[in-house]
């Protein structure tokens, strides 16, 4: 009983893919690259959290959100606020008019810490907020939209508008948020210097472990009854509704999950990169996040991770080699992928690599059988 | 990658040694050249005949239009230094990276330049946001950044040389000038909504009030804002003598066109408009006919009448084309490589810790803006100037401070 359940949850192919991915992330990449490149890979992988969430909500549930940057930002800012408060102790901020508050507040003539910053003195609260804030926010958006049966393109546009609004809000309220500069110069986590090489190694591995855990959670959802219902909803929403299911609640749930995944990614981004800024929240980065999922294949949880890795890697390498032309190359790549491989990398794998591997395996088995 | 770095180490030293031996006869003749190991004890990218620096600006994205001038100026300076024999007998090579108008990318690329390319210095950044993103990286890996933009001050890093003016240098003399020459009494402060305009106006307001004059309004609009009609109405109502503006970027196009449409003729100077943020570069976008009569307070104008500048403008046009214009920041960016060269040669070393000691006091008599000198607080002594915009997009210099203005990034009594 238990065994069959396990098998249905994790088919052999998926287990193999999972082990390969774990081996690449945990063993191969750390051996192949120095800490500078590894830290960059860690940064790329924070976007894989978002792409994973998108595979669930978009690929599985058919809910295209063009505002995942909102949740990435919520997690990122929550973590950044905690780290900034720790970096702004009275000794470090002596030269300010009001020592002990973050530097950008002082530049904006604030003389005391705003009330909503206070709870972020606590690391426990910060971790709680990284999960709870996006869940709450996604619930509000989801409930407002899905209960009214707003979906498809309209939902995508609204999420995009919310991403734009949040960016404008953060930039406009610079005394409270750091404005367009973002929250910069983050140093320590409970006295542990996050800028050193050894800290970067540790953060990389924490990041990968969290990502693999998220992947397992995503797989669980995908294979559960809920996952099958989501697919059914995507393909024929009315039938599911007439069968007696409350479609809106399932949509809200999966949208919240996608938001939480993104938020965890955002928090890990802040830790590894050392700052957070509104340029990661707005429309452009949010669409980029959809591109990661699209390039990887919006139906494949593994594809999402490889997509985020490869697109970001290409971005870095191309911009290093052709600082003035790289954007054209990136654009060409996206167009090519969407036109030629609508199912993304996962599609290429499924239609070319997998059959080839199966054929070879079968040939070997046949040979054995003959002997 | 990790592997190649560790295994290449013995190789490089051997190669350096061989090259060093080969260069021995030359070294005996030219007393100036010295072994790479002597002038570089911290593992920077320095060989016996080359040294590598980084250029880090936005070549793509919204800031590219502003930062391209800086890139061109830095490349020109490097080429000129190379043509005149290089630095400590070494030719400068540069690695250009694109910050893509995106602050996290700036941080990533700065780190790449320092950690992987081991550049001896970085010429770069433009917006305050990009500098703030890069700053922790510079301090952690002990790099040296030459930052060209006029900015809000309130910063003084051991790892940055600020070759543009900080806010007090740009503002105080401008306001004094408006009071003394134009008899201005009432000021209206207008800016884009971010840290530089806010800090600048804070300093301006304190100074205006100190002079016994009046601020009749202070307004901010988001970056990229294009509807200035309501504020123009407000200005008409308050009747200031001076509109003091720190509106940046594309908003300027809308602002000046709407000013004209509202019947405020800049050439009549009622009120007169004094800006900190419109250089020759911006006028290209706004159109000369829209800003004719505008006053700008900064340290450099392309039309500056001195021999250094004539030569600089000529060389710049020869290198980058005849129809190019040169703004304040472009000139400041041009100073970066030259200041670095002077500091390196005074220190006899590329080590960042050593040039940090020699940088204060470094002077350039060949600067296009005239004479500049590095202050111990890492900013430059420079003159304040007022330019009067002409229809052809150039400024006529109508005022120049007699003395160099001391940089004062943390102005007491203005905070």
Q: Which residues 326-385 of B are in CB contact (within 8 Å) with A? A: none
Q: Which domain holds residue A133?
A: 10-321
Q: Reply yes or no on whether the pLDDT at A271 is more than 50.
A: yes
Residue A356 within any structural domain of the chain: no
Residue A349 within any structural domain of the chain: no
Residue A212 within any structural domain of the chain: yes
Q: What architecture is domain B167-298+384-400?
A: 3-Layer(aba) Sandwich (3.40)
Q: Does B199 touch chain A (CB under 8 A)?
A: yes
Which of B59, B103, B111 faces A324 most closely, judged by CB atoms? B59
Q: Which residues 114-133 of B are in CB contact (within 8 Å) with A? A: 115-116, 128-129, 132-133
**Cα A52 from Cα A300, distance rounded (Å):** 9
Q: Reply yes or no on whether the pLDDT at B158 is more than 50.
A: yes
Q: Which residues 23-42 of A are in CB contact (within 8 Å) with B? A: 31-34, 36-37, 40
In this prediction, residue A142 has a pLDDT band, given cuts at 50, 70 and 90, of very high
For the segment B365-408, what is each residue's pLDDT rounded down to a tens digit?
Answer: 999 999 999 999 999 999 999 999 999 999 999 999 999 999 99
Q: Does A188 touch chain B (CB under 8 A)?
A: no
Interchain proximity A180–B129, CB inside 8 Å: yes
Q: Reply yes or no on whether the pLDDT at B17 is more than 80.
A: no
Q: Which of B345, B191, B266, B115 is nearest to A200 (CA)?
A: B115
Q: Tokens 């993104």 map to which residue?
A: A262
Interchain proximity B2–A32, CB inside 8 Å: yes
Comparison of pLDDT for A1 and B50, the residue scoring more: B50
Q: Which residues of B touch A275 (CB under 8 A)?
A: 103-104, 107, 133, 136
Helix (H) or strand (E) holding A72: helix A68-87
**Cα B196 from Cα B29, distance rounded (Å):** 52
Interchain proximity B97–A279, CB inside 8 Å: no
Interchain proximity B103–A108, CB inside 8 Å: no
Q: Where are the domains of chain B?
A: 32-165+312-381, 167-298+384-400
Q: Reply yes or no on whether the pLDDT at B333 is more than 80.
A: yes
**Cα B401 from Cα B386, distance rounded (Å):** 9
A280-298 in b/e form (b: 16+ CB < 10 A) is bbbbebbebbbbbbbbbbb
Residue A304 within any structural domain of the chain: yes
What is the tally of structural domains in chain A?
A: 1
Mutation test of the interface with chain A: which of B60, B160, B199, choosing the one with the most A Cβ atoms within 10 A? B60
Q: Reply yes or no on whether the pLDDT at B45 is more than 50.
A: yes
Q: Is the ipTM of this complex over 0.85?
A: no
Looking at residue B34, its pLDDT comes to 63
**Cα A129 from Cα A263, distance rounded (Å):** 10
- For A207-217, what is the mean pLDDT? 97
Interchain proximity A319–B128, CB inside 8 Å: no
Q: Does B254 touch chain A (CB under 8 A)?
A: no
For the segment B237-296, what is each residue's pLDDT rounded down to a tens digit?
Answer: 999 999 999 998 878 999 999 999 999 999 999 899 999 999 998 898 889 999 999 999
Helix (H/G/I), strand (E/B), else coil: B61: coil
Looking at residue B8, its pLDDT comes to 38
Q: What architecture is domain B32-165+312-381?
A: 3-Layer(aba) Sandwich (3.40)
- Cβ atoms < 10 Å from Cβ of A227: 18
Q: Which residues of B touch A176 (CB under 8 A)?
A: none
Which residue of chain A comes nearest to B3, CA vs CA? A32
- The residue length of chain B stands at 415
Looking at residue B13, its pLDDT comes to 43
Burial class (CB in 10 A: 0-12, 13-18, 19+), A115: exposed
- Interface A–B counts its CB contacts (< 8 A) at 106
């Amino acid at each position: 009983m238990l065994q069959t359940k396990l098998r249905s949850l994790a088919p052999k192919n998926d287990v193999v893919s999972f082990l390969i991915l774990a081996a690449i992330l945990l063993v191969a990449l750390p051996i192949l690259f120095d800490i500078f490149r590894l830290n960059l890979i860690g940064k790329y992988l924070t976007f894989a959290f978002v792409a994973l969430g998108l595979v669930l909500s978009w690929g599985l549930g058919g809910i295209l959100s063009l505002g995942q940057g909102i949740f990435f930002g919520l997690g990122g800012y929550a973590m950044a606020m905690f780290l900034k408060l720790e970096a702004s102790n009275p000794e470090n901020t002596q030269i300010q008019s009001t020592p002990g508050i973050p530097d950008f507040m002082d530049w904006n003539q604030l003389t005391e810490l705003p009330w909503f910053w206070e709870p972020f003195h606590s690391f426990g609260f910060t971790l709680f907020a990284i999960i709870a804030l996006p869940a709450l926010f996604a619930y509000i958006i989801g409930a407002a939209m899905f209960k009214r049966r707003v979906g498809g393109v309209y939902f995508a546009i609204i999420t995009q508008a919310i991403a734009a609004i949040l960016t404008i809000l953060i930039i406009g309220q610079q005394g409270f948020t750091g404005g367009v500069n973002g929250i910069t110069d983050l140093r320590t986590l409970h006295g542990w210097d996050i800028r050193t090489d050894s800290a970067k190694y540790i953060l990389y591995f924490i990041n990968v472990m969290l990502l693999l855990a998220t992947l397992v959670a995503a797989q669980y959802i995908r294979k559960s009854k809920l996952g099958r219902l989501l697919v059914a909803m995507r393909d024929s929403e009315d039938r599911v509704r007439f069968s007696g299911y409350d479609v809106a609640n399932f949509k809200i749930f999966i949208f919240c999950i996608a938001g939480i995944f993104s938020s965890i990614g955002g928090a890990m981004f802040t830790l590894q990169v050392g700052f957070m800024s509104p340029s990661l929240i707005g429309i452009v980065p949010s669409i980029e996040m959809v591109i990661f999922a699209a390039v990887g294949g919006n139906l494949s949880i593994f594809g999402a991770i490889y997509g985020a890795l490869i697109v970001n890697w290409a971005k870095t390498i191309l911009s290093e080699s052709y600082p003035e032309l790289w954007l054209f190359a990136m654009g060409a790549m996206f167009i090519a992928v969407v036109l030629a491989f609508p199912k993304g990398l996962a599609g290429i794998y499924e239609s070319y690599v997998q059959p080839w591997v199966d054929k070879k395996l079968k040939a070997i088995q046949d040979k054995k059988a003959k002997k | 990658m990790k592997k190649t770095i560790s295994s290449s180490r013995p190789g490089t030293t051997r190669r350096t040694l061989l090259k060093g031996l080969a260069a021995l006869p030359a070294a005996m003749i030219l007393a100036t050249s010295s072994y790479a190991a002597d002038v570089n004890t911290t593992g920077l990218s320095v060989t016996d005949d080359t040294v590598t620096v980084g250029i880090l600006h936005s070549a793509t994205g919204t800031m590219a239009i502003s930062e391209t001038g800086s890139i061109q100026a830095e490349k020109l300076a490097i080429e000129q230094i190379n043509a005149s024999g290089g630095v400590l007998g070494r030719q400068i090579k540069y690695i250009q990276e694109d910050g893509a108008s995106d602050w996290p990318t700036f941080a990533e690329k700065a780190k790449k330049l320092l950690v992987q390319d081991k550049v001896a210095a970085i010429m770069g950044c433009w917006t305050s946001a990009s500098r703030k993103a890069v700053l922790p990286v510079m301090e952690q890996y002990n790099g040296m950044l030459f930052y060209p933009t006029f900015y809000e001050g309130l910063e003084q890093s051991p790892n940055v040389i600020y070759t543009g003016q900080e806010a007090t240098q740009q503002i105080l003399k401008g306001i004094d000038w408006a009071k003394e020459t134009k008899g201005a009494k009432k000021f209206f402060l207008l800016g884009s909504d971010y840290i530089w305009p806010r800090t600048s106006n804070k300093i301006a307001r304190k100074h205006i009030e100190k002079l016994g004059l009046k601020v009749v309004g202070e307004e901010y609009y988001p970056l990229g804002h294009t509807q200035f009609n309501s504020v123009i109405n407000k200005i008409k109502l308050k009747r200031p003598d001076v509109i003091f503006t720190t509106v940046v970027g594309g908003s300027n196009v809308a602002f000046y066109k709407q000013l004209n449409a509202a019947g405020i003729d800049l050439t009549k100077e009622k009120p007169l408009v004094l800006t900190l943020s419109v250089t020759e570069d911006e006028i290209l976008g706004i159109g000369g006919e829209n800003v004719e009569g505008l006053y700008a307070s900064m340290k450099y104008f392309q039309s500056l009448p001195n021999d250094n500048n004539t030569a600089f403008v000529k060389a710049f046009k020869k290198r980058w084309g005849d129809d190019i214009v040169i703004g304040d920041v472009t000139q400041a960016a041009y100073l970066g490589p030259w200041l670095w060269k002077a500091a390196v040669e005074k220190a006899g070393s590329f080590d960042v810790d050593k040039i940090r000691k020699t940088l204060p006091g470094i002077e350039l008599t060949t600067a296009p803006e005239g004479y500049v000198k590095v202050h111990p607080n890492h900013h430059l002594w420079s003159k304040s100037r007022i330019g009067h915009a002409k229809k052809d997009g150039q400024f006529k210099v109508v005022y120049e401070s007699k003395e160099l203005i001391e940089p004062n990034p943390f102005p007491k009594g203005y905070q």
